[in-house]
Structure 1
């Protein structure tokens, strides 16, 4: 009889137990991916995408830090956001944090209304998992309150003033960037350096070494850089072609068919690294609170790295390999990848990938192996990496294979990104942020 009573007690506890916190972490990666898909739909440019990720995650990070003393609040190490007031008491802070990611995206991304469907799906999933409607409602109220505050803070970072600034006109001269085929799109975000950074002090804090001086002399260092890109493009191995395509991450890709230009939507460089972050935090079995923190600070690293890189791009306004090679070496040559619509120096993927690799290495350790499936939705296979730094190095050299960057833009871009990442990690350490594992 006692055994029967004990069995009934165990069954009743199982049936009526409250949903475990651990169950909620499975909703993090889908929430971030939902934000990614809306940005792919909107063809959001790489710097802007990093900004949207940052604000979407910062609100969630703030909610978690209010309820978990082990998580350092973002307001401790950044002036980009201010503490939000939370009136509700009986709410699930993790539900609020998850919903806040979607709600912030809904408020600040151009087609953010598309996230309303994802919000509904999240609520349905939570109800199925046993969360009470009243708790969900209270949590949503908190999420909406914080998201509204985050959106207000975001509105003060200079982004809304970009459209009021003078239209960018390429500098005159063979040494300077000029729009490239097939779209001949004008320079993207020429005033991005005016955006308020999150963790670094200013856009000009990490100015890289000057680029090799332009020259038409066939014996010059610059000509040799261009010739290297040309020769590499004509002699690519299949592995090199794959690496270039794998890290393409060009939201502006255009397919030409007769007289028609057809856009092909792709994930941004930052979106690729945000997905890697989700893969890594899942593999590391991080709880939801730490997972949100890591996502938030990776996004902030991306945002600051883009601000720093774009500061240099429009300072040097350096001409792309495609333009130089067509003018000086071979008028019929084409790069494997389409040339992105902004100046060449420094390489954006080299800067942001190296910076983020430092942040992820701090949180999850060096030699953290992972399988990246980011490009599967674009019909590319998964790829295995032994560490974040290895992945960042491959992303950097992919720009040479793709024919869109000179070697000095890649190597100096890596140095720039490493300096940014190192600075951010040290700042986080001083604020009391600890490795996630």
Structure 2
């Protein structure tokens, strides 16, 4: 049995951001049976694998089964990882600041059991129809942990962390039904071919962020005026490079565009897992690693969606077919133009891949203290010449992601650049205010 907080009002659950940054959080009185906890850094084996295991389980539940698109999926993935972080961090004696929950810890306690319980309980709450499968995965995780008091106590910590995060994220807007009516006329987004699907996940623009004060904290400047030189340059560059036929794109640029068209949450998540495994981090460092990446990336997409639905700018496939309507003589229309890659069903500005990829690479650079890092990314898109790409710097992967969206015909250069700015701003705010080393602790 574990301690829980008393019932809280919706007002109380919406914790003031300023209070959070200065240490306000859900408190579970801790019972410590030793003067101090020994913090183990650099552990291999199961101490790192349990986080990787449940990261993979979560990604499968969120995308493979529930088919959540990236902006929705990352919100749920971040919930899983902050629960694991708060659970493991508590068992390890708070080498880092708590995110939102400080569970009761009775020693001895297994951090591995805490992580598994936290992830399992959050996922079951989010996807109750998947409980049978998640229960089986949970049983497999627990079977690898020696039975005894430490295991029982660790499970309790994880259950408390999950319960606290679910309360903390209650009424965050992630399940709200938000109606969105496209605008009309030059410059406004409208559903695009071939599917002409309605706008994707408009509620995300209003979801309470994990680290930001509000979704609009880093709202982008307006997109280029249709009479501007910037608009002419962007329009013609994407028109010439991004078309499915008749483009000036090279075969390598075509391959890159298709490489980056993979499901971005899964593609980046696979890269994070490889980076984590290669570094052989301790369990608490690994929990922090994924909590930082998922919250920064989720908030980057929340901020991105805020700008997207605030400006509702038209996609290249709409603009180029209607170039005669924008009042600019230097934007010649092509009524049959279509991009190499199918255009996603949400407004164009700013580019979501810019927001997400920039938040990811900026957070990775912060975590490791350098942009220089050997890692690889792969793509599940069939028929690629280069399904695996090796990088020597995080920024190289960002550059590829930005260029690919132009080559694919989904975005303009300015939108990619502005998306990258948002991702960078969000990451810097998140990493400077959350998941910080406690006084006297060291960074990884």
54-63 or 142-151: bigger deviation: 142-151
Aligned residues: 384
Q: Are positions 1:309 and 2:298 aligned together?
A: no
- Seen in structure 2, the aligned counterparts of structure 1 residues 196 and 173 have a Cα distance that, compared at 3 Å, is same
Q: Are positions 1:225 and 2:234 aligned together?
A: yes
Residues 29-428 of structure 1 aligned to structure 2 (within 5 Å): 29-40=52-63, 41-69=65-93, 71-75=95-99, 81=100, 83-86=101-104, 89-109=107-127, 111-113=129-131, 114-124=133-143, 126=144, 131-132=146-147, 135-160=150-175, 162-163=176-177, 165=178, 167-215=179-227, 221-233=230-242, 234-249=247-262, 267=263, 269-328=264-323, 329-376=333-380, 381-428=387-434
Structure 1 residue 316: Cα displacement: 0.7
What SS does the aligned partner of 1:369 have? strand
Contact 1:22 / 1:287 at 8 angstroms: preserved in 2?
A: yes
Question: C-alpha separation between the residues in 2 aligned to 1:85 and 1:423?
Answer: 26
Question: Which position in structure 2 is the counterpart of 1:10?
Answer: none
* Structure 2: runs of 5 or more not aligned: 1-41, 324-332
Q: Which 4+ runs in 1 deviate beyond 4 A?
A: 87-90, 376-380, 428-436
Alpha-carbon RMSD across the aligned residues, in angstroms, is 2.6
Whichever structure has more helix as a proportion of its residues is 1
Question: C-alpha separation between the residues in 2 aligned to 1:138 and 1:377?
Answer: 44
Contact 2:437 / 2:443 at 8 angstroms: preserved in 1?
A: no
What SS does the aligned partner of 2:337 have? coil
Contact 2:74 / 2:265 at 8 angstroms: preserved in 1?
A: yes
Question: C-alpha separation between the residues in 1 aligned to 2:435 and 2:157?
Answer: 29
TM-score (norm 1): 0.80
Contact 1:274 / 1:295 at 8 angstroms: preserved in 2?
A: no
Question: C-alpha separation between the residues in 2 aligned to 1:376 and 1:322?
Answer: 25
Structure 1 residue 280: Cα displacement: 1.2
What SS does the aligned partner of 2:390 have? strand
TM-score (norm 2): 0.79
What SS does the aligned partner of 1:384 have? strand
- Give CA deviations for 1:59-94 in whole Å, capped at 9, x if unaligned: 11111221224631333xxxxx3x254365443122
Contact 1:364 / 1:435 at 8 angstroms: preserved in 2?
A: no
Question: C-alpha separation between the residues in 1 aligned to 2:249 and 2:112?
Answer: 48
